[in-house]
Amino acid sequence: MRPITQTVKPDCLLAQLDIGLKLTTDPVKGSGLTSRLIDLAAKEGFRLAASPTDDGVVIATNAEAADAFAGNGKLGKSENFKRAVAHPGAFPAFYMDIDSILEALKASNPPPDPRQLIGIFVTGPSRRTGGGHRAAVSCWGMAPKELSTVTTSTTTTGPVRWLFAPATEHSTRGSEVSMAALRITVGLLWLYNVSWKRPPDFGRDSGKGLYGFTKDAVDHPVFAPYSWVVDHVVLHNFTAFGWTVLVVETALAVLLLTGAWVRLAALVGIGQSVAIGLSVAQTPGEWPWSYWMLIGIHVVLLFGAAGAVLAVDAVRASDQPHRRVRFLALVWGTVAVVAGIVAVLMSLGDDALAASGATLGGPGLSISLGSYNLVGAIALIVIGVLTYAAAQLGNTLLARVAAVLGVVCAVSLYAQLGWTDPWLGGSNTSAGFFLVTALIAATVAHSAHRHASDTPVVAHA
């Protein structure tokens, strides 16, 4: 048999068939390989799907076929399917005996056009490995090669496109999970630290809070030019500076916790960390290395695959986003509901509109999801339930309602904090967490709309 060199066009009817390949190998390596295949196929106009198995992974022409071939459906239990992969030991080099697959396709009486494609699929001299004929499977339009050596690179994209692209470079699963944990941890750091940056004066009248830390750049200078800018520009326009800091750090918390536009967030985090370090690193009682480490963490997030797990970036990068978004909605919907229930229990017996509600977390470990009175807690529960239900049902309307409710809750807090008692009994941290839930809900809405308008028609052979 000859290597597969035929270029397949995206509009080919073959894409409507249920065709899959089962890779028996280390699950982590198999996942990385199939991710690269899916990315490469997408560049040629094909949408592929992958599904993990206990002993490897399956890649197929659509999500339903991938699930079926993986053993979650009748195809995975079929003896005919099991016989189609005759030599599992050949998979590390990604060679396959495709004779039985082609015979099965021909025997299934496919439509005329796919039958013709099957006839031109196999051309040229055979490549023999082990005890049978194999064909080196090539990506569409690429020279045949062992696909385990295929890699991808971001060098062909410009720096701006790279900055805004999903941070999902291929890596081991353990590395991706570790990066996600680091990203979420730093997101919680920023979320906690917006709590004491309170408008409208941000501590200027008392000389404490954000104003006091900013003035440390003048009283205990780290870098003379920066101290001059703080003394002559920042402190004279401190209200605008305070709002800028609040917006930037809230955005960092929201983007890092949700894993949205991670590279951009990491770059902004580097700048913000440098600015904080230049302000307070020489203040008595401060540990300068804490700011070096904060800068270093954001550098790692900038260049790593920090958006590959539990992240909006993973949804943006996926050709089958509805699966990833369901998991994302499940996790964050659960967090919102549990946080709301805990706040309800802590608020029992208090005024439903208390100005200062129950605090989830606190200064002991410097981790908090904010504070909520009974009304604020119920709002969290409603948003969480709507988000999860929308993801499971693919309902765009429910997701949009949850997103709007999250934004309204956050805006109400920003509009009231510092001027009057907040209706939701919250803080800047509470507002940031509401924005987290809103972004997740908006992602669910976008995915549901995309899935509804772009669902492929599958012709079963």
Q: Is the pLDDT of residue 48 over 80?
A: yes
Most confident of 1-10, 112-121, 290-299: 290-299
pLDDT digits (tens, 9 = 90+) for 383-431: 999 999 999 999 999 999 999 999 999 999 999 998 899 999 999 999 9
pLDDT digits (tens, 9 = 90+) for 193-223: 999 999 999 999 998 999 999 999 999 999 9
Taking alpha carbons only, the member of 69, 66, 99, 94 closest to residue 81 is 69
Q: Is the pLDDT of residue 42 over 70?
A: yes
Percent of the chain with pLDDT over 70: 75
3-class DSSP state for residue 351?
A: coil
Q: Is the pLDDT of residue 352 over 50?
A: yes
Euclidean distance between CA atoms 321 and 47, whole angstroms: 12
CA dihedral 314, 318, 320, 321 (to 10 degrees): 40
Euclidean distance between CA atoms 106 and 118, whole angstroms: 8
Q: Is the pLDDT of residue 300 over 90?
A: yes
pTM over the 0.85 mark: no
- What is the band of 314 on the pLDDT scale with cuts at 50, 70, 90? very high
Surface-to-core class of residue 130, CB atoms within 10 Å of its CB (0-12 exposed, 13-18 middle, 19+ buried): exposed
pLDDT digits (tens, 9 = 90+) for 164-180: 989 887 778 889 999 99
Q: Which two structure tokens, joined as six digits, stand for 184?
A: 């979420």
